[in-house]
Chains A and B, each alone.
Chain A
Protein backbone atom coordinates (compact mmCIF):
# COMPACT_ATOMS: atom_id res chain seq x y z
CA UNK A 1 0.00 0.00 0.00
CA UNK A 2 2.93 2.29 -0.49
CA UNK A 3 1.84 3.47 -3.95
CA UNK A 4 0.92 7.09 -4.16
CA UNK A 5 -2.63 8.36 -3.88
CA UNK A 6 -4.05 8.94 -7.36
CA UNK A 7 -7.69 9.82 -6.71
CA UNK A 8 -9.40 11.33 -3.72
CA UNK A 9 -13.14 11.77 -3.68
CA UNK A 10 -14.19 14.00 -0.78
CA UNK A 11 -17.80 14.36 0.37
CA UNK A 12 -19.27 14.44 -3.13
CA UNK A 13 -23.02 14.99 -3.49
CA UNK A 14 -25.40 15.34 -6.42
CA UNK A 15 -29.17 15.68 -6.56
CA UNK A 16 -31.47 15.44 -9.55
CA UNK A 17 -34.49 17.46 -8.51
CA UNK A 18 -35.51 16.05 -5.17
CA UNK A 19 -33.61 12.80 -5.53
CA UNK A 20 -30.20 12.53 -3.92
CA UNK A 21 -28.37 10.48 -6.51
CA UNK A 22 -25.07 10.67 -4.64
CA UNK A 23 -24.95 11.74 -1.02
CA UNK A 24 -21.67 12.57 0.71
CA UNK A 25 -19.52 9.85 -0.84
CA UNK A 26 -15.79 9.80 -0.08
CA UNK A 27 -13.05 7.34 -0.94
CA UNK A 28 -9.35 7.20 -1.84
CA UNK A 29 -7.61 5.21 -4.51
CA UNK A 30 -3.91 4.39 -4.81
CA UNK A 31 -2.08 3.97 -8.07
CA UNK A 32 -2.36 0.51 -9.60
CA UNK A 33 -5.35 -0.52 -7.52
CA UNK A 34 -8.59 -1.87 -8.91
CA UNK A 35 -11.64 -0.44 -7.19
CA UNK A 36 -14.93 -2.26 -7.69
CA UNK A 37 -18.12 -0.27 -7.30
CA UNK A 38 -21.29 -2.26 -6.74
CA UNK A 39 -24.82 -1.48 -5.71
CA UNK A 40 -28.39 -2.27 -6.68
CA UNK A 41 -30.00 -0.64 -9.70
CA UNK A 42 -30.41 3.09 -9.25
CA UNK A 43 -27.96 3.27 -6.38
CA UNK A 44 -25.88 5.96 -8.09
CA UNK A 45 -23.00 4.00 -9.58
CA UNK A 46 -23.17 5.58 -13.03
CA UNK A 47 -23.78 9.00 -11.51
CA UNK A 48 -20.61 8.58 -9.46
CA UNK A 49 -18.75 7.75 -12.69
CA UNK A 50 -20.15 10.79 -14.42
CA UNK A 51 -19.20 12.99 -11.49
CA UNK A 52 -15.62 11.74 -11.38
CA UNK A 53 -15.15 12.13 -15.13
CA UNK A 54 -16.81 15.54 -15.28
CA UNK A 55 -19.78 14.59 -17.45
CA UNK A 56 -22.09 15.80 -14.69
CA UNK A 57 -21.39 18.80 -12.49
CA UNK A 58 -21.57 17.96 -8.80
CA UNK A 59 -23.41 19.96 -6.15
CA UNK A 60 -20.83 19.69 -3.38
CA UNK A 61 -17.52 18.09 -2.51
CA UNK A 62 -14.11 17.82 -4.10
CA UNK A 63 -12.41 15.40 -6.47
CA UNK A 64 -8.61 15.38 -6.40
CA UNK A 65 -6.77 13.60 -9.22
CA UNK A 66 -2.96 13.39 -8.89
CA UNK A 67 -3.05 16.27 -6.40
CA UNK A 68 -5.08 18.54 -8.70
CA UNK A 69 -8.59 19.62 -7.84
CA UNK A 70 -10.52 18.59 -10.95
CA UNK A 71 -13.94 19.33 -9.46
CA UNK A 72 -14.74 22.17 -11.82
CA UNK A 73 -12.95 20.98 -14.94
CA UNK A 74 -14.84 20.15 -18.13
CA UNK A 75 -14.93 16.50 -19.17
CA UNK A 76 -12.41 16.81 -22.00
CA UNK A 77 -9.84 18.43 -19.72
CA UNK A 78 -10.21 15.66 -17.15
CA UNK A 79 -9.66 13.09 -19.91
CA UNK A 80 -6.69 15.15 -21.03
CA UNK A 81 -5.21 14.87 -17.53
CA UNK A 82 -5.28 11.06 -17.87
CA UNK A 83 -8.61 10.05 -16.37
CA UNK A 84 -10.40 8.12 -19.12
CA UNK A 85 -13.78 6.41 -19.08
CA UNK A 86 -15.88 3.91 -20.99
CA UNK A 87 -19.58 4.25 -21.62
CA UNK A 88 -22.25 1.78 -20.68
CA UNK A 89 -24.02 2.35 -24.00
CA UNK A 90 -21.55 2.03 -26.85
CA UNK A 91 -22.07 4.11 -29.94
CA UNK A 92 -19.21 3.64 -32.38
CA UNK A 93 -19.23 5.06 -35.91
CA UNK A 94 -21.08 2.13 -37.45
CA UNK A 95 -20.18 2.91 -41.06
CA UNK A 96 -16.45 3.21 -40.44
CA UNK A 97 -13.88 0.45 -40.04
CA UNK A 98 -13.07 -0.35 -36.43
CA UNK A 99 -9.60 1.15 -36.47
CA UNK A 100 -10.92 4.50 -37.72
CA UNK A 101 -13.00 4.69 -34.56
CA UNK A 102 -9.77 5.21 -32.65
CA UNK A 103 -8.56 8.14 -34.73
CA UNK A 104 -10.37 10.87 -32.71
CA UNK A 105 -8.76 9.90 -29.36
CA UNK A 106 -5.39 9.57 -31.11
CA UNK A 107 -5.96 13.05 -32.52
CA UNK A 108 -6.26 14.50 -29.01
CA UNK A 109 -3.50 16.70 -27.55
CA UNK A 110 -2.91 14.10 -24.83
CA UNK A 111 -2.21 11.31 -27.32
CA UNK A 112 0.24 13.55 -29.16
CA UNK A 113 1.91 14.56 -25.91
CA UNK A 114 2.26 11.03 -24.55
CA UNK A 115 3.68 9.83 -27.87
CA UNK A 116 6.30 12.61 -27.67
CA UNK A 117 5.86 13.53 -31.30
CA UNK A 118 6.38 9.99 -32.56
CA UNK A 119 2.76 9.07 -33.13
CA UNK A 120 3.13 8.22 -36.81
CA UNK A 121 0.13 7.18 -38.87
CA UNK A 122 -2.90 7.17 -36.60
CA UNK A 123 -4.53 4.27 -38.41
CA UNK A 124 -1.45 2.08 -37.84
CA UNK A 125 -1.22 3.05 -34.16
CA UNK A 126 -4.93 2.28 -33.78
CA UNK A 127 -4.46 -1.21 -35.21
CA UNK A 128 -1.61 -1.85 -32.75
CA UNK A 129 -3.79 -0.82 -29.82
CA UNK A 130 -6.68 -2.95 -31.09
CA UNK A 131 -4.47 -5.98 -31.46
CA UNK A 132 -3.32 -5.72 -27.83
CA UNK A 133 -6.92 -5.94 -26.74
CA UNK A 134 -7.79 -8.93 -28.90
CA UNK A 135 -8.85 -7.62 -32.30
CA UNK A 136 -6.88 -10.15 -34.31
CA UNK A 137 -5.18 -8.49 -37.23
CA UNK A 138 -4.85 -11.82 -39.05
CA UNK A 139 -8.61 -12.32 -38.92
CA UNK A 140 -8.96 -8.78 -40.28
CA UNK A 141 -11.18 -7.76 -37.34
CA UNK A 142 -9.75 -4.21 -37.11
CA UNK A 143 -10.83 -3.59 -40.70
CA UNK A 144 -14.45 -4.66 -40.27
CA UNK A 145 -17.18 -2.07 -40.05
CA UNK A 146 -17.81 -1.16 -36.43
CA UNK A 147 -21.55 -1.61 -36.93
CA UNK A 148 -21.07 -5.32 -37.63
CA UNK A 149 -19.18 -6.11 -34.41
CA UNK A 150 -20.70 -8.29 -31.69
CA UNK A 151 -21.18 -6.83 -28.23
CA UNK A 152 -18.00 -8.27 -26.78
CA UNK A 153 -15.86 -6.49 -29.34
CA UNK A 154 -17.78 -3.24 -28.87
CA UNK A 155 -16.98 -3.31 -25.15
CA UNK A 156 -13.32 -3.84 -26.00
CA UNK A 157 -13.50 -1.01 -28.50
CA UNK A 158 -14.71 1.26 -25.69
CA UNK A 159 -11.68 0.18 -23.67
CA UNK A 160 -9.41 0.81 -26.66
CA UNK A 161 -10.74 4.34 -26.95
CA UNK A 162 -9.49 4.87 -23.39
CA UNK A 163 -6.18 3.15 -24.00
CA UNK A 164 -5.49 5.36 -27.00
CA UNK A 165 -5.17 8.25 -24.54
CA UNK A 166 -2.57 6.30 -22.49
CA UNK A 167 -4.53 7.05 -19.35
CA UNK A 168 -3.45 6.65 -15.74
CA UNK A 169 -6.92 5.86 -14.46
CA UNK A 170 -9.78 4.24 -16.36
CA UNK A 171 -13.35 4.29 -15.14
CA UNK A 172 -15.08 1.25 -16.65
CA UNK A 173 -18.86 1.48 -16.64
CA UNK A 174 -20.31 -2.07 -16.65
CA UNK A 175 -17.76 -3.40 -19.06
CA UNK A 176 -18.74 -7.03 -18.33
CA UNK A 177 -22.51 -6.68 -18.53
CA UNK A 178 -24.16 -8.41 -21.46
CA UNK A 179 -21.09 -10.54 -22.15
CA UNK A 180 -21.00 -14.34 -22.15
CA UNK A 181 -18.98 -16.21 -19.54
CA UNK A 182 -16.26 -16.98 -22.05
CA UNK A 183 -16.07 -13.37 -23.18
CA UNK A 184 -15.69 -12.24 -19.57
CA UNK A 185 -13.09 -14.92 -18.99
CA UNK A 186 -11.06 -13.46 -21.84
CA UNK A 187 -11.46 -9.91 -20.52
CA UNK A 188 -10.16 -10.67 -17.01
CA UNK A 189 -6.52 -11.27 -18.04
CA UNK A 190 -6.71 -8.05 -19.99
CA UNK A 191 -7.77 -6.09 -16.93
CA UNK A 192 -5.01 -7.75 -14.91
CA UNK A 193 -2.47 -6.77 -17.54
CA UNK A 194 -3.61 -3.17 -17.40
CA UNK A 195 -3.12 -3.27 -13.64
CA UNK A 196 0.37 -4.68 -14.10
CA UNK A 197 1.15 -1.79 -16.41
CA UNK A 198 0.35 0.56 -13.53
CA UNK A 199 -3.07 1.70 -14.72
CA UNK A 200 -5.56 2.28 -11.94
CA UNK A 201 -9.07 1.01 -12.61
CA UNK A 202 -12.49 1.82 -11.24
CA UNK A 203 -14.94 -0.87 -12.30
CA UNK A 204 -18.65 -0.44 -11.92
CA UNK A 205 -20.20 -3.88 -12.22
CA UNK A 206 -23.19 -6.06 -11.68
CA UNK A 207 -21.11 -9.20 -12.18
CA UNK A 208 -20.01 -9.53 -8.58
CA UNK A 209 -18.23 -12.86 -8.84
CA UNK A 210 -15.85 -11.74 -11.58
CA UNK A 211 -15.40 -8.33 -10.02
CA UNK A 212 -14.44 -9.69 -6.63
CA UNK A 213 -11.75 -11.81 -8.28
CA UNK A 214 -10.16 -8.67 -9.70
CA UNK A 215 -10.80 -5.88 -7.25
CA UNK A 216 -8.35 -4.91 -4.51
CA UNK A 217 -11.02 -2.86 -2.86
CA UNK A 218 -14.82 -2.73 -3.17
CA UNK A 219 -17.17 0.16 -2.59
CA UNK A 220 -20.87 -0.50 -2.05
CA UNK A 221 -23.47 2.13 -2.84
CA UNK A 222 -27.14 2.10 -1.92
CA UNK A 223 -29.55 4.99 -2.46
CA UNK A 224 -26.60 7.20 -3.31
CA UNK A 225 -24.76 6.56 -0.07
CA UNK A 226 -21.62 4.61 0.58
CA UNK A 227 -22.66 1.78 2.87
CA UNK A 228 -19.43 -0.18 2.91
CA UNK A 229 -15.83 -0.09 1.71
CA UNK A 230 -13.16 -2.73 2.08
CA UNK A 231 -11.65 -5.79 0.49
CA UNK A 232 -13.79 -8.46 -1.12
CA UNK A 233 -14.08 -10.80 1.89
CA UNK A 234 -15.07 -7.98 4.26
CA UNK A 235 -17.80 -6.90 1.87
CA UNK A 236 -19.15 -10.43 1.56
CA UNK A 237 -19.60 -10.60 5.32
CA UNK A 238 -20.91 -7.09 5.85
CA UNK A 239 -24.43 -7.16 7.24
CA UNK A 240 -25.55 -3.90 5.65
CA UNK A 241 -24.38 -5.05 2.24
CA UNK A 242 -26.09 -8.39 2.59
CA UNK A 243 -29.30 -6.63 3.41
CA UNK A 244 -29.14 -4.03 0.67
CA UNK A 245 -27.63 -5.95 -2.14
CA UNK A 246 -27.67 -9.67 -1.80
CA UNK A 247 -31.20 -9.66 -0.40
CA UNK A 248 -32.11 -10.12 3.23
CA UNK A 249 -35.27 -10.58 5.21
CA UNK A 250 -35.41 -6.96 6.24
CA UNK A 251 -37.17 -4.52 3.97
CA UNK A 252 -35.43 -1.20 4.03
CA UNK A 253 -37.01 2.04 5.06
CA UNK A 254 -36.37 5.43 3.53
CA UNK A 255 -34.67 7.82 5.92
Chain B
Protein backbone atom coordinates (compact mmCIF):
# COMPACT_ATOMS: atom_id res chain seq x y z
CA UNK B 1 0.00 0.00 0.00
CA UNK B 2 1.33 3.34 -0.93
CA UNK B 3 1.20 6.04 1.68
CA UNK B 4 0.82 9.57 0.45
CA UNK B 5 1.01 12.79 2.29
CA UNK B 6 0.35 16.35 1.38
CA UNK B 7 3.30 18.65 1.27
CA UNK B 8 3.17 22.42 1.52
CA UNK B 9 5.88 24.54 0.03
CA UNK B 10 6.36 28.29 -0.24
CA UNK B 11 5.79 29.65 -3.71
CA UNK B 12 8.92 30.94 -5.41
CA UNK B 13 7.60 34.47 -5.51
CA UNK B 14 6.98 34.32 -1.73
CA UNK B 15 10.55 33.25 -1.05
CA UNK B 16 11.99 35.91 -3.33
CA UNK B 17 9.84 38.69 -1.94
CA UNK B 18 10.87 37.84 1.64
CA UNK B 19 14.18 39.53 1.04
CA UNK B 20 15.39 42.93 0.00
CA UNK B 21 15.34 41.74 -3.63
CA UNK B 22 11.55 42.08 -3.55
CA UNK B 23 11.90 45.58 -4.92
CA UNK B 24 13.84 44.36 -7.94
CA UNK B 25 10.89 43.17 -9.96
CA UNK B 26 7.39 44.44 -10.61
CA UNK B 27 5.96 40.97 -10.16
CA UNK B 28 7.30 40.67 -6.64
CA UNK B 29 6.20 44.17 -5.67
CA UNK B 30 2.72 43.28 -6.91
CA UNK B 31 2.84 40.05 -4.92
CA UNK B 32 3.54 42.04 -1.76
CA UNK B 33 1.17 44.97 -2.16
CA UNK B 34 -1.45 43.31 -4.38
CA UNK B 35 -3.81 41.96 -1.69
CA UNK B 36 -3.81 45.24 0.23
CA UNK B 37 -4.42 47.26 -2.94
CA UNK B 38 -7.24 44.93 -3.94
CA UNK B 39 -8.94 45.39 -0.56
CA UNK B 40 -8.62 49.17 -0.68
CA UNK B 41 -9.89 49.33 -4.27
CA UNK B 42 -12.89 47.10 -3.59
CA UNK B 43 -13.90 49.06 -0.49
CA UNK B 44 -13.57 52.40 -2.29
CA UNK B 45 -15.52 51.27 -5.37
CA UNK B 46 -18.32 49.40 -3.58
CA UNK B 47 -20.34 52.52 -2.60
CA UNK B 48 -20.40 53.58 -6.26
CA UNK B 49 -21.85 50.36 -7.64
CA UNK B 50 -24.14 49.11 -4.88
CA UNK B 51 -27.93 49.72 -4.96
CA UNK B 52 -29.22 52.09 -2.22
CA UNK B 53 -30.36 49.36 0.15
CA UNK B 54 -27.01 47.60 0.06
CA UNK B 55 -25.25 50.92 0.54
CA UNK B 56 -26.90 51.08 3.94
CA UNK B 57 -25.81 47.52 4.63
CA UNK B 58 -22.29 48.53 3.67
CA UNK B 59 -22.20 51.35 6.24
CA UNK B 60 -23.46 49.04 8.99
CA UNK B 61 -20.96 46.38 7.90
CA UNK B 62 -18.27 49.06 8.13
CA UNK B 63 -19.21 49.83 11.73
CA UNK B 64 -19.16 46.14 12.60
CA UNK B 65 -15.84 45.75 10.80
CA UNK B 66 -14.39 48.56 12.92
CA UNK B 67 -15.65 46.86 16.08
CA UNK B 68 -14.35 43.49 14.89
CA UNK B 69 -10.92 44.93 14.16
CA UNK B 70 -10.88 46.59 17.58
CA UNK B 71 -11.89 43.30 19.21
CA UNK B 72 -9.37 41.33 17.17
CA UNK B 73 -6.54 43.71 18.05
CA UNK B 74 -7.15 43.27 21.79
CA UNK B 75 -7.75 39.53 21.59
CA UNK B 76 -5.04 38.51 19.13
CA UNK B 77 -2.27 40.91 19.96
CA UNK B 78 -2.72 41.87 23.61
CA UNK B 79 -4.48 38.78 24.93
CA UNK B 80 -7.54 40.56 26.33
CA UNK B 81 -10.80 38.95 25.19
CA UNK B 82 -13.21 41.84 25.52
CA UNK B 83 -16.81 40.62 25.39
CA UNK B 84 -18.09 44.08 26.29
CA UNK B 85 -17.54 45.79 22.95
CA UNK B 86 -21.04 47.25 23.25
CA UNK B 87 -19.74 49.32 26.17
CA UNK B 88 -17.46 51.23 23.80
CA UNK B 89 -20.27 51.73 21.28
CA UNK B 90 -22.70 52.89 23.94
CA UNK B 91 -20.30 55.26 25.67
CA UNK B 92 -19.19 56.81 22.38
CA UNK B 93 -22.79 57.10 21.19
CA UNK B 94 -24.11 58.70 24.37
CA UNK B 95 -21.24 61.17 24.66
CA UNK B 96 -21.74 62.45 21.13
CA UNK B 97 -25.53 62.39 21.54
CA UNK B 98 -25.45 64.39 24.78
CA UNK B 99 -22.90 66.86 23.40
CA UNK B 100 -25.03 67.34 20.31
CA UNK B 101 -28.36 67.73 22.11
CA UNK B 102 -27.22 69.91 25.04
CA UNK B 103 -24.36 71.99 23.61
CA UNK B 104 -25.47 71.83 20.00
CA UNK B 105 -22.02 70.82 18.75
CA UNK B 106 -21.98 69.58 15.12
CA UNK B 107 -21.22 65.90 14.36
CA UNK B 108 -17.88 66.97 12.92
CA UNK B 109 -16.84 67.88 16.49
CA UNK B 110 -18.84 65.46 18.60
CA UNK B 111 -17.59 62.31 16.84
CA UNK B 112 -13.87 62.98 17.45
CA UNK B 113 -14.54 64.27 20.99
CA UNK B 114 -16.64 61.21 21.77
CA UNK B 115 -13.96 58.89 20.36
CA UNK B 116 -11.22 60.31 22.58
CA UNK B 117 -13.09 61.08 25.80
CA UNK B 118 -15.16 57.90 25.48
CA UNK B 119 -12.01 55.85 25.08
CA UNK B 120 -10.50 57.52 28.15
CA UNK B 121 -13.63 56.84 30.16
CA UNK B 122 -13.83 53.19 29.04
CA UNK B 123 -10.14 52.68 29.83
CA UNK B 124 -10.64 54.11 33.32
CA UNK B 125 -13.68 51.90 33.84
CA UNK B 126 -11.82 48.79 32.70
CA UNK B 127 -8.65 49.68 34.63
CA UNK B 128 -9.59 47.69 37.76
CA UNK B 129 -10.01 44.47 35.74
CA UNK B 130 -6.87 44.80 33.61
CA UNK B 131 -4.81 42.57 35.91
CA UNK B 132 -7.33 39.82 35.12
CA UNK B 133 -6.58 37.48 32.28
CA UNK B 134 -8.34 35.09 29.95
CA UNK B 135 -11.90 34.14 30.78
CA UNK B 136 -11.99 36.32 33.93
CA UNK B 137 -11.44 39.49 31.95
CA UNK B 138 -13.97 38.31 29.36
CA UNK B 139 -16.67 37.76 31.98
CA UNK B 140 -16.11 41.06 33.77
CA UNK B 141 -16.03 43.06 30.55
CA UNK B 142 -19.25 41.35 29.46
CA UNK B 143 -21.01 42.74 32.56
CA UNK B 144 -20.26 46.41 31.80
CA UNK B 145 -22.79 47.10 29.00
CA UNK B 146 -25.48 45.06 30.76
CA UNK B 147 -25.00 47.02 33.97
CA UNK B 148 -24.98 50.36 32.15
CA UNK B 149 -28.30 49.59 30.44
CA UNK B 150 -29.82 48.80 33.83
CA UNK B 151 -28.53 52.08 35.27
CA UNK B 152 -29.94 54.10 32.36
CA UNK B 153 -33.36 52.48 32.45
CA UNK B 154 -33.60 52.62 36.25
CA UNK B 155 -32.51 56.23 36.67
CA UNK B 156 -33.99 57.57 33.44
CA UNK B 157 -30.94 59.70 32.64
CA UNK B 158 -30.31 60.79 29.04
CA UNK B 159 -33.86 60.11 27.98
CA UNK B 160 -34.05 56.80 29.85
CA UNK B 161 -35.61 54.02 27.81
CA UNK B 162 -36.63 56.40 25.03
CA UNK B 163 -33.14 57.70 24.34
CA UNK B 164 -32.42 61.10 22.83
CA UNK B 165 -33.99 61.76 19.41
CA UNK B 166 -33.71 64.61 16.92
CA UNK B 167 -29.93 64.75 16.78
CA UNK B 168 -28.05 66.11 13.77
CA UNK B 169 -27.40 63.57 11.07
CA UNK B 170 -24.49 63.26 8.67
CA UNK B 171 -25.08 65.24 5.45
CA UNK B 172 -25.72 62.52 2.88
CA UNK B 173 -25.35 58.89 1.98
CA UNK B 174 -21.95 59.38 0.29
CA UNK B 175 -20.44 61.02 3.35
CA UNK B 176 -21.93 58.21 5.47
CA UNK B 177 -20.28 55.51 3.45
CA UNK B 178 -16.93 57.07 2.77
CA UNK B 179 -16.38 58.30 6.33
CA UNK B 180 -16.72 54.82 7.77
CA UNK B 181 -14.76 53.14 4.96
CA UNK B 182 -11.88 55.59 5.22
CA UNK B 183 -11.78 55.29 9.00
CA UNK B 184 -11.78 51.48 8.77
CA UNK B 185 -8.95 51.58 6.24
CA UNK B 186 -6.95 54.08 8.31
CA UNK B 187 -7.35 51.92 11.41
CA UNK B 188 -6.29 48.81 9.50
CA UNK B 189 -3.21 50.53 8.18
CA UNK B 190 -2.26 52.00 11.55
CA UNK B 191 -2.81 48.76 13.45
CA UNK B 192 -0.87 46.70 10.92
CA UNK B 193 2.06 49.09 11.27
CA UNK B 194 1.68 49.02 15.04
CA UNK B 195 1.71 45.26 15.60
CA UNK B 196 4.18 44.34 12.86
CA UNK B 197 6.69 47.15 12.85
CA UNK B 198 6.45 49.36 15.93
CA UNK B 199 8.42 48.51 19.06
CA UNK B 200 5.39 49.01 21.26
CA UNK B 201 3.58 46.41 19.14
CA UNK B 202 6.17 43.86 20.26
CA UNK B 203 5.49 44.86 23.86
CA UNK B 204 1.76 44.28 23.29
CA UNK B 205 2.43 40.87 21.80
CA UNK B 206 4.73 40.11 24.72
CA UNK B 207 1.92 40.92 27.14
CA UNK B 208 -0.12 38.24 25.40
CA UNK B 209 2.56 35.58 24.90
CA UNK B 210 4.78 35.94 27.92
CA UNK B 211 3.59 38.33 30.58
CA UNK B 212 6.28 37.24 33.06
CA UNK B 213 9.04 38.20 30.65
CA UNK B 214 7.47 41.62 30.13
CA UNK B 215 7.36 42.21 33.87
CA UNK B 216 10.96 41.02 34.14
CA UNK B 217 11.81 43.52 31.37
CA UNK B 218 10.94 46.40 33.72
CA UNK B 219 7.68 47.12 31.90
CA UNK B 220 4.42 47.79 33.70
CA UNK B 221 2.00 45.30 32.17
CA UNK B 222 -1.13 47.13 33.33
CA UNK B 223 0.04 50.39 31.76
CA UNK B 224 0.53 48.76 28.36
CA UNK B 225 -2.77 46.91 28.63
CA UNK B 226 -4.42 50.26 29.37
CA UNK B 227 -2.85 51.80 26.27
CA UNK B 228 -4.09 48.92 24.13
CA UNK B 229 -7.57 49.18 25.62
CA UNK B 230 -7.54 52.91 24.85
CA UNK B 231 -6.73 52.23 21.19
CA UNK B 232 -9.42 49.59 20.94
CA UNK B 233 -11.97 51.69 22.83
CA UNK B 234 -11.32 54.72 20.63
CA UNK B 235 -12.32 52.64 17.60
CA UNK B 236 -15.42 51.31 19.37
CA UNK B 237 -16.44 54.78 20.60
CA UNK B 238 -16.02 56.14 17.10
CA UNK B 239 -18.36 53.43 15.88
CA UNK B 240 -20.95 54.40 18.50
CA UNK B 241 -20.70 58.12 17.81
CA UNK B 242 -20.95 57.47 14.09
CA UNK B 243 -24.09 55.35 14.54
CA UNK B 244 -25.64 58.09 16.68
CA UNK B 245 -25.25 60.64 13.92
CA UNK B 246 -26.22 58.12 11.25
CA UNK B 247 -29.64 57.61 12.82
CA UNK B 248 -29.95 60.99 14.55
CA UNK B 249 -30.89 59.09 17.67
CA UNK B 250 -29.11 57.60 20.64
CA UNK B 251 -30.59 54.98 22.92
CA UNK B 252 -30.05 51.91 24.99
CA UNK B 253 -29.85 49.68 21.92
CA UNK B 254 -26.29 50.92 21.46
CA UNK B 255 -25.41 48.72 24.42
CA UNK B 256 -27.00 45.71 22.68
CA UNK B 257 -25.24 42.40 22.81
CA UNK B 258 -24.91 42.34 18.99
CA UNK B 259 -22.07 44.83 19.25
CA UNK B 260 -20.22 42.55 21.65
CA UNK B 261 -20.85 39.22 19.98
CA UNK B 262 -20.69 39.88 16.25
CA UNK B 263 -17.06 41.11 16.43
CA UNK B 264 -16.21 37.85 18.18
CA UNK B 265 -17.97 35.84 15.46
CA UNK B 266 -16.26 37.87 12.74
CA UNK B 267 -12.87 37.26 14.32
CA UNK B 268 -13.46 33.53 14.60
CA UNK B 269 -14.74 33.25 11.02
CA UNK B 270 -12.23 35.65 9.53
CA UNK B 271 -9.24 34.11 11.20
CA UNK B 272 -7.44 34.79 14.44
CA UNK B 273 -3.92 36.18 14.74
CA UNK B 274 -4.40 38.52 11.78
CA UNK B 275 -5.48 42.15 11.66
CA UNK B 276 -7.39 41.65 8.40
CA UNK B 277 -9.29 38.53 9.48
CA UNK B 278 -11.93 40.30 11.62
CA UNK B 279 -12.48 42.86 8.85
CA UNK B 280 -13.10 40.18 6.23
CA UNK B 281 -15.29 38.26 8.68
CA UNK B 282 -17.46 41.30 9.40
CA UNK B 283 -17.86 42.20 5.72
CA UNK B 284 -19.04 38.61 5.08
CA UNK B 285 -21.25 38.05 8.12
CA UNK B 286 -23.19 41.33 8.08
CA UNK B 287 -24.43 41.07 4.45
CA UNK B 288 -25.27 37.38 4.97
CA UNK B 289 -27.20 38.31 8.07
CA UNK B 290 -29.01 41.04 6.09
CA UNK B 291 -30.03 38.65 3.34
CA UNK B 292 -31.45 36.33 5.98
CA UNK B 293 -33.53 39.13 7.47
CA UNK B 294 -36.79 37.42 6.44
CA UNK B 295 -36.04 34.65 8.92
CA UNK B 296 -36.18 37.16 11.80
CA UNK B 297 -34.45 36.17 15.00
CA UNK B 298 -33.60 32.76 13.54
CA UNK B 299 -30.55 34.60 12.20
CA UNK B 300 -28.97 34.12 15.59
CA UNK B 301 -29.20 30.36 15.05
CA UNK B 302 -27.47 30.76 11.71
CA UNK B 303 -24.66 32.73 13.35
CA UNK B 304 -24.25 30.16 16.05
CA UNK B 305 -24.04 27.35 13.51
CA UNK B 306 -21.45 29.22 11.44
CA UNK B 307 -19.40 29.99 14.53
CA UNK B 308 -19.52 26.43 15.83
CA UNK B 309 -18.58 25.12 12.40
CA UNK B 310 -15.61 27.47 12.24
CA UNK B 311 -14.45 26.72 15.76
CA UNK B 312 -14.66 22.95 15.30
CA UNK B 313 -13.78 22.30 11.65
CA UNK B 314 -12.04 25.37 10.34
CA UNK B 315 -10.00 26.86 13.12
CA UNK B 316 -7.65 28.74 10.84
CA UNK B 317 -10.43 30.97 9.46
CA UNK B 318 -10.80 32.63 6.08
CA UNK B 319 -7.83 34.97 6.24
CA UNK B 320 -5.28 32.40 7.34
CA UNK B 321 -6.59 29.99 4.70
CA UNK B 322 -6.34 32.61 1.95
CA UNK B 323 -2.90 33.66 3.04
CA UNK B 324 -1.70 30.06 3.02
CA UNK B 325 -3.06 29.47 -0.47
CA UNK B 326 -1.53 32.75 -1.61
CA UNK B 327 1.92 32.08 -0.24
CA UNK B 328 2.21 28.32 -0.60
CA UNK B 329 1.28 25.51 -2.93
CA UNK B 330 0.38 21.97 -2.03
CA UNK B 331 1.18 18.68 -3.66
CA UNK B 332 0.87 15.01 -2.89
CA UNK B 333 4.09 13.12 -2.36
CA UNK B 334 4.78 9.45 -1.78
CA UNK B 335 6.14 8.69 1.65
Q: Which residues of A contact B (CB under 8 A)?
A: 53, 55, 74-77, 79-80, 84-85, 87, 91-93, 96, 100, 103-111, 122, 161-162, 164-165
Contacts and interface: CB of A to CB of B under 8 A. Distances in A.
Given A107-B203, A161-B217, 17 more contacts: A55-B215, A74-B215, A75-B215, A77-B218, A77-B220, A79-B215, A79-B217, A84-B218, A91-B209, A91-B213, A104-B199, A104-B202, A107-B199, A107-B200, A108-B218, A108-B219, A110-B218
Contact of B216 (A79, A92, A107): A79
A105 B217 CA distance: 5
Q: Of residues B202, B206, B209, B216, which shows the largest number of chain A Cβ atoms within 10 Å of its Cβ? A: B216
Interface string B195-235: 00001101101100110111111111100000000000000
Interface of B: 199-200, 202-203, 205-206, 209-210, 212-221
23 contacts: A53-B216, A76-B214, A76-B215, A76-B216, A76-B218, A76-B219, A77-B220, A79-B216, A80-B218, A84-B216, A91-B209, A93-B205, A93-B209, A103-B199, A103-B203, A104-B199, A104-B202, A104-B214, A105-B217, A107-B200, A122-B199, A161-B217, A165-B218
Contacts of B217: 76, 79, 104-105, 107-108, 161, 164-165
Contact of B218 (A79, A93, A103): A79
A109 B224 CA distance: 13
Contacts of A75: 215-216
Contacts of B205: 93
Contacts of A162: 216
B305 to A, nearest CB: 32
A96 B199 CA distance: 13
B219 A91 contact: no
Nearest to A105: B217
The 6 A-B residue pairs with the shortest CB-CB distance, nearest first, are A105-B217, A79-B218, A108-B218, A80-B218, A75-B215, A103-B202
Q: Of residues B200, B202, B221, which shows the largest number of chain A Cβ atoms within 10 Å of its Cβ? A: B202
A75 B292 CA distance: 53
Nearest to A100: B202
Contacts of A122: 199
B219 A104 contact: yes
Nearest to A78: B218
Nearest to A85: B216
B216 A93 contact: no
B312 to A, nearest CB: 25
Q: Of residues B210, B217, B219, which shows the largest number of chain A Cβ atoms within 10 Å of its Cβ? A: B217
A104 B215 contact: no
Contacts of A85: 216
A161 B199 contact: no
Nearest to B217: A105
Given A76-B219, A76-B221, A105-B218, A161 B213 contact: yes
A182 B205 CA distance: 34
Given A93-B206, A122-B199, A107 B212 contact: no
B199 to A, nearest CB: 5
A120 B91 CA distance: 40
A105 B213 CA distance: 9
B218 A87 contact: no
A55 B218 contact: no
Contacts of B219: 76, 104-105, 107-108
Contacts of A103: 199, 202-203
A167 to B, nearest CB: 9
Given A93-B205, A93-B206, A104 B221 contact: no
B202 A96 contact: yes
A84 B199 CA distance: 21
A74 B219 CA distance: 11
A90 to B, nearest CB: 9
Contacts of A93: 202, 205-206, 209-210
A52 to B, nearest CB: 12
A38 B217 CA distance: 26
A107 B221 contact: no
Nearest to B201: A103
B144 to A, nearest CB: 26
A53 B213 CA distance: 12
A110 B216 CA distance: 12
Contacts of B200: 107
A161 B202 CA distance: 14
B203 A104 contact: yes
A100 B201 CA distance: 11
Contacts of A80: 218
Q: Of residues A105, A107, A161, which shows the largest number of chain B Cβ atoms within 10 Å of its Cβ? A: A107
